[in-house]
Amino acid sequence: MKIILVDDERIALEHIRTLIPWEENGYEIAAAATNGRSALRLCEEHRPQIMIVDIRMPVMDGLELIRAVAERGWGVNFIVMSAYEDFNYARQAISLGCVSSYLVKHEVNRDKLMQELAKAKLAWEMNERQRKLSRSEQLKEAFFASSQPAKQGAHIARPPLCALLLQADVPFTTIPSVAASPDASGTIGWTEGFKHAETTAAWELVGEFAHGPGKLVALFEQRDKSVSVQREAFHRIASTAQREFDGRLGYTVSFYFAFEYADAAHLPVLIHKLEEAARHTVFSGRNTLACAHDLPLPIRMAPANMDGSRRWLEALAACIAQEDYGSFESVIKEWFDSLAQPEWNLNGLYEAIRALTTLYRERLAAAGLPEADPLDPIKFGPLYHVTDIRNRFLHAFGELNEQGSTARKRLSPKLLQAIRYLHAHFQDEIGVEDAAAATGISVRYLHELFKRELNRTFLDYLTEYRIKQAKIILMREDAKMAEVSARVGYRSPQHFSQVFKRLTGVLPHQFRAKEQAR
């Protein structure tokens, strides 16, 4: 706890210095002054918690000093001393509200001073808790003022200012509201977190407040208004504080900050900028320390672009048709690159994930494999960065491609040729005779190939493939049942429904309802 001594008699100053072991008792004499004016300057520089002040001094006396410090709202608690039992002075000093004791110098001994310091410390701590609550409310009003923002923010601090948003890092989810965030109210306070920073000489913490689960907002004021904005100095402070937080909290945190150069009334603009940066954290990743002004945030949130997704999906479909997984991988990489430049496109990312997940499930269905989530956090672990999401899809599709390649290698060339014909013409009224003619073998031999290598008949395989394609249409589109049945080779919707239920256990409309509810 910092203390400043103020007395015009140097002998009196030395006596107080040597009266008790200050550091052993948790106190630090930050400075000493011989008049009120010098003490006021030192108070602004060191921001002590307690000042021990003589009443009668030249230039500026003790009462004037106490009034000046109180007007500036620095929250200092005073122990007033005098060589006289001047009760008029005592009454005036105590009436100022920030004086805990009035002592007569020749009566002060070690025990008395320790007792009064303890009283002053307790008074400061109680007042500081109240000041923090009050500052937090004032900051909230300044940051989220909906009307007359100039009046709300002007009294908080004078620019240059820096607003900072701390956000606990949580795994990415396509449903952001479901992500569990640590409770910021249970973390160490900002003052504690910044106490071990390299330096706070350039910037002073004005106040902070919790801003929802796992989030804190803090406002800093640059002390020296005569110099340009000291961005590098703040970055050093924030970097040191971030390491301090990471070491104490048990999870990583990201820091986003933004500067205001002209007017405290613009704090609502600053908090909007910081919230946008925090909302796009999947593009910057865990443990981010960044100035929001330097991030490629969108000017306005772009709507989900279904046509854009369709273009990329068509390119992927072409790669699948040509069995070109190298190009398939390149298309996915280009797609994700387009989401991060020239601006971060969060809605586009959500749409890409939805589209690729649907495509993955379609490929699983086509391969006769059970449905799975390529981003399953329980199976594959949490994802924090857009690159992790991209790589997870590449891995999932790569595994699926290898499984398909292994299956294809086991089939004879003539059967593979017949299967490709079936895949290309399953919407038509085709039979085993058509496939045999296209393959250049007899119907009997093609029957034998299906039975020997796939353990099913040509009709069984055709029916299963048609139903798999029907599932894809039902999952992706809102087409009528007559249209769905026609697109998968059934002229009668009733017959299609019967076959669908025989293979899946549910009717087509029941399957669609189940998928939409997921």
* pLDDT of res. 365: 64
When mean pLDDT is compared across 42-56, 89-103, 204-218, 367-381, the lowest value belongs to 89-103
DSSP E strands, 113-214? 161-168, 203-210
Q: What percent of the chain has pLDDT over 70?
A: 86
* pLDDT of res. 305: 56
Q: Tens of pLDDT along 324-366?
A: 888 899 999 999 999 998 999 999 999 999 899 888 887 776 6
Average of per-residue pLDDT across 117-138: 83
Average of per-residue pLDDT across 258-268: 89
Q: Tens of pLDDT along 269-281?
A: 999 999 999 999 9
DSSP 144: S
When mean pLDDT is compared across 29-33, 63-67, 193-197, 482-486, the lowest value belongs to 193-197
Say which CATH topology domain 410-516 has. Arc Repressor Mutant, subunit A (1.10.10)
Q: How confident is the model at residue 140 (pLDDT cuts 50, 70, 90)?
A: confident
Distances (CA, A) of 373 to 98, 238, 364: 63, 38, 11
When mean pLDDT is compared across 6-10, 88-92, 385-389, the lowest value belongs to 88-92
| pLDDT reading at 184 higher than 50 | no
Residue ranges per structural domain of the chain: 2-131, 149-294, 306-408, 410-516
Average of per-residue pLDDT across 162-177: 83
> What does the H/E/C string look like for 228-262?
CCCHHHHHHHHHHHHHHHHHHHCCCEEEEEEEECC
Average of per-residue pLDDT across 107-135: 85
* pLDDT of res. 179: 46
Backbone angles phi, psi at 290, to 5 degrees: -150, 150
Distance CA 221, CA 348 (A): 37
CATH topology of 2-131 equal to that of 410-516?
no
Q: Tens of pLDDT along 451-498?
A: 988 888 999 999 998 998 898 888 778 889 999 999 999 999 999 999
Average of per-residue pLDDT across 100-116: 86
Average of per-residue pLDDT across 115-133: 84
Average of per-residue pLDDT across 122-142: 82
Distance CA 445, CA 450 (A): 9
* Of 350, 356, 334, 353, the residue nearest 302 (C-alpha): 350
DSSP 505: S
Q: How confident is the model at residue 87 (pLDDT cuts 50, 70, 90)?
A: low
Distances (CA, A) of 149 to 99, 206, 221, 264, 271: 35, 18, 18, 9, 13
Distances (CA, A) of 8 to 34, 59, 168, 331: 4, 10, 51, 79
* Of 358, 353, 312, 355, the residue nearest 474 (C-alpha): 358
* pLDDT of res. 136: 79
* pLDDT of res. 83: 74
Q: How confident is the model at residue 502 (pLDDT cuts 50, 70, 90)?
A: very high
Average pLDDT in the chain: 84
Contact 74/47 with Cβ under 8 angstroms?
yes
* pLDDT of res. 186: 46
Backbone angles phi, psi at 33, to 5 degrees: -140, 155
Q: How confident is the model at residue 84 (pLDDT cuts 50, 70, 90)?
A: low
Say which CATH topology domain 149-294 has. Alpha-Beta Plaits (3.30.70)
* pLDDT of res. 177: 45
Query: Which structure tokens are listed for 409?
Result: 């290698």
| Packing angle, helices 493-504 and 458-476, rounded to 10 | 100
Which strand ranges, in their side-by-side order, compose the sheet holding 253-260? 203-210, 215-222, 161-168, 253-260, 289-291
* pLDDT of res. 150: 43
Q: Tens of pLDDT along 229-252?
A: 889 989 988 998 888 887 777 788
| pLDDT reading at 222 higher than 70 | yes
2-131 sits in which CATH class?
Answer: alpha beta
State the first-to-last Cα distance of the chain, in angstroms, to the nearest integer. 57
Long-range Cβ contacts of 406-409 (<8 Å, 24+ apart): 407/367
Residue 247, Cβ density class (10 Å: 0-12 exposed, 13-18 middle, ≥19 buried): exposed
When mean pLDDT is compared across 33-47, 129-143, 427-441, the lowest value belongs to 129-143
Distance CA 129, CA 135 (A): 10
* pLDDT of res. 201: 67
| pLDDT reading at 4 higher than 90 | yes
Stronger pLDDT, 400 or 155, i.e. the higher one: 400
Cβ count near 305 (within 10 Å) = 14
Q: How confident is the model at residue 302 (pLDDT cuts 50, 70, 90)?
A: low
CA atoms within 13 A of residue 340's CA, in its CB half-sphere = 15
